[in-house]
Copies of this chain bind each other. A is one copy, B any other.
Amino acid sequence: MIKLKDLGEKGFIKNIIEENKGIWIWGPLKPGDDASAVPYLGGYIILKIDGFASHDSKYPWNTWRDFGWKAVTACVSDILSKGGKPFAYLISLGMPGDMSVEDGLEIMRGVAEAIDYYGGYLAGGDTNSSKDDIWIDVACVGHSSNDPIGRDAQPGDHIIITGDYGLTGLAYLLYLKYLDKKIDIKDVPHEVVSTTSRPRAPIETYDLLNKYRKCIRGSVDISDSLAESLYLLSEFSGYSIKLHDIPINSFVREFSSKENIDPMELALYGGEEFQLILSIDPSCTNDFLKDLKRRSIKADVYGVVTEERRVAVYLKEREIYRKGFQHF
């Protein structure tokens, strides 16, 4: 008997995609993309479901409110990366009967705060009694008047990355130390706590993604790791990507130098950043970056799409290995 943990999440999903091609909603986005899209009355509805089980998705320094916030953020991030804006959210909760009512309501308060922040409305929910797990699934319904953004890329395209990286990788490192009883929760720096408690999808980019839609050839949400998302873009387009640098968070840089850890490793293989990687026609880069700056969105060009037809990502000429978070 082959178990899920033997095959891994990616392998399992590949099987599902393969078996279900016949019933897949064939809009402009392919199965395996961040979300799906369906032409609807002149526009597109963009759809996504994203779930979390608390035992492997909630750090001990996160509250239940944070847990609800993050689940909504993750779903929004996927819709946003396709150029859409969510307008309706459906929530399903699984909780054991001996969980406190207050904690259950706290999850929903985090959900409500996030909906308020990203915009849109709560459109329903369901609750189930779980045995032991506490889980949340968020389904997001978004809209786009433009063609949704896939994961294409052409040789010469600039690679723009929003946000900075390393804090979530550091969080995981510190979590392992905490499990080993080498540190206490109060030793976790507040930069790490706040990033992993209240991650934010860059919803302010929505208007600009649409303004520059004709120049943006591809877009990927960064959820499993920066490296994995770069590989996804390379995989979908078929071209390798060359980066001259990656944006590293300044606190991570400092912390890493003190503790003698590799900040690049933290930045490339953390997860749940919910930021964007874009491949964009170079002729638009300057205007786009200026507009992003005007809205205080951290973003820059970090590389180019090469002519090499191979799934590969290079950082400063060295090919980086592929690894992203996988359930199972």
Contacts and interface: CB of A to CB of B under 8 A. Distances in A.
A45 B121 contact: no
A123 B35 CA distance: 8
Q: How many copies of this chain does the complex contain?
A: 2
Interface stretch (A99-107, A153-161, A181-189, A251-259): A99-107
Contacts of A12: 101, 104-105, 127
A99 B4 contact: yes
A292 interface: no
B133 A92 contact: no
A19 B88 contact: no
A260 B47 CA distance: 51
A91 B49 contact: yes
B19 A51 contact: no
Interface stretch (A108-116, A203-211, A298-306, A315-323): A108-116
Given A129-B328, A328-B97, A88 B47 contact: yes
Contact of A92 (B15, B55, B137): B137
A57 B130 CA distance: 11
Interface in A216-260: none
Interface string A17-58: 001101111100000000110101111010111111101110
Contact of A104 (B4, B49, B87): B4
A129 to B, nearest CB: 4
Interface string A73-107: 00000000000000110111011111111101100
Nearest to A107: B16
A265 interface: no
Contacts of A48: 90, 124
A13 interface: yes
Contact of A137 (B3, B88, B100, B126): B126
Given A5-B97, A53-B94, A20 B127 contact: no
Contacts of A96: 4
A201 interface: no
B40 A41 contact: yes
Contact of A20 (B36, B49, B122, B135): B122
A60 interface: no
A115 to B, nearest CB: 5
A139 interface: yes
Contacts of A13: 125, 127
Given A20-B112, A49-B126, 7 more contacts: A3-B99, A4-B98, A7-B101, A36-B123, A47-B88, A47-B141, A53-B131
5 contacts: A19-B112, A25-B121, A48-B90, A53-B128, A130-B133
Going nearest first, the 9 A-B pairs with the smallest beta carbon separation are A5-B97, A139-B139, A25-B121, A49-B90, A129-B327, A41-B41, A137-B137, A51-B92, A36-B123
